Amino acid sequence: MPAPSPFLASNAGRVDAAADSVAHADAAASAVMPAGQASSPTQAADASDDRLATLLRSHRRLFVLTGAGCSTDSGIPDYRDRAGAWKRPPPIAFGPFMAEPLTRARYWARSMIGWRSFGQARPNRAHHALAALEAADRIELLVTQNVDGLHQAANSRAVVDLHGRLDGVRCMQCGARLPRADFQAELEALNPDWRDFVAPVAPDGDADLDGVDFSGFRVPAHAACGGILKPDVVFFGESVPRQRVLAASDALSRADAMLVVGSSLMVYSGYRFALAAAERGIPLVSINRGLTRADALLSFKVEEDCGDALARAVAATVLQPCGISDGA
């Protein structure tokens, strides 16, 4: 049973009911339309493209919120299924991590193994498209619920890592932040017998490894003060640092539209921004395969792969001179 992962990210996944309704629409269209004109999937994608491209053309100060669906194409799995429910045991919570040495040993053993894949992940088309939007001066701020640092790797600069970054380690006693790469080397040196384990990578950079005795795994304390070291991410049971929430809220107050990419918004830390956008009356748009908690608030939803939808819409707008002429 996996668990040692940070907070709960979001999810991307197609809602079966929605997929069915598309299929039924196809069948109905085929029945009444001559062959060659019954291309509902294409038409649906075209319509989504149009609406998304129009949004990008007519809004210059986007507040973008990204979730796990943005990183699945980079090989980082998500936590939730198409309906927004857990598809694996929930990630580790702050209380047990701090209170139980064996829980920490299990977390860091799995994390040490998972990091070798997670740390190698590279940005995908969704990250690159969002970086292109920023380069075209269309993004007020990008707030991500992901902890993988892939937006920065794709050259996005105005990024708030709402839930922290897995490439850092924090001392819970003195507050020092250490590079994960150094801590990884230390873990591997202390636990040579564990280096050969191979296990599938789990959503937050750990690995699906179980059925082993974790009690022999050695986890060093912070050398300077003896404090407990924890990945620099927000675990369940912890609050998002106030500074990050304020920075995001401030940007949202200046934004002229909000775009949610690959998040079901099941976690309140992200959902609250959708509520705030709706309250302000600015367009709220989601690119997500599956249910989102904000469905009732959305101006429209693009039920497609994030990378596909974003790459097309960005190519059709900011990367072409004709798309830049439309003002906000």
Report the C-alpha gap between 229 and 227 in whole angstroms. 6
Binding site per annotation, positions for NAD(+): 145-148, 262-264, 288-290, 306
Distance CA 163, CA 73 (A): 20
How far apart are alpha carbons 88 and 202 in whole angstroms? 9
Contacts of 90 (CB under 8 A, 6+ apart): 3, 8, 79, 236
Smallest distance from Zn ion to CB 228, Å: 9
DSSP state of 86: B
Phi, psi angles (nearest 5°) of residue 96? -60, -35
174 versus 185: smaller Cβ distance to Zn ion: 174
The residues that touch Zn ion, with contacts defined as CB under 5 A, are 171, 173-174, 176, 222, 225, 227
Helix (H, G, I), strand (E, B) or coil at 268: helix
Q: By the 8 A CB rule, do 110 and 97 touch? A: no
Tell me whether residue 219 or residue 257 sits nearer to Zn ion (CB atom).
219
Contact 297, 310 (CB under 8 A): no
Active site residue 163: yes
Shortest separation between residue 102's beta carbon and Zn ion, angstroms: 22
Comparing CB distances to Zn ion, the nearer of 225 and 246 is: 225
Count of helix runs (H) and strand runs (E) in the chain: 11, 9
Tell me the C-alpha distance between 17 and 3, whole Å.
Answer: 29
Q: Report the distance separating Cα 79 and Cα 306, nearest Å.
A: 17
Cα separation of 200 and 110, whole Å? 10
CB of 219 vs Zn ion, minimal distance in Å: 14
Q: Which residues pair with 177 in a beta bridge?
A: 170
- The number of residues in the chain equals 328
223 or 246: whose CB is closer to Zn ion? 223
Smallest distance, Zn ion to C-beta of residue 314, A: 43
Task: Detail the residues annotated as belonging to a binding site for Zn(2+).
Answer: 171, 174, 222, 225
Q: How far is the CB of 103 from Zn ion (least distance, A)?
A: 20
Q: How far is the CB of 229 from Zn ion (least distance, A)?
A: 8
> Residue 17 or residue 221: which is nearer to Zn ion going by CB?
221
Radius of gyration of the chain (CA): 21
Of 59, 127, 128, 163, the catalytic one is 163
The smaller minimum CB distance to Zn ion, of residues 2 and 231, is found at 231
Q: Which residues pair with 139 in a beta bridge?
A: 62
- Which amino acid is located at 35 in the chain? A
Supply the residues annotated as catalytic.
163
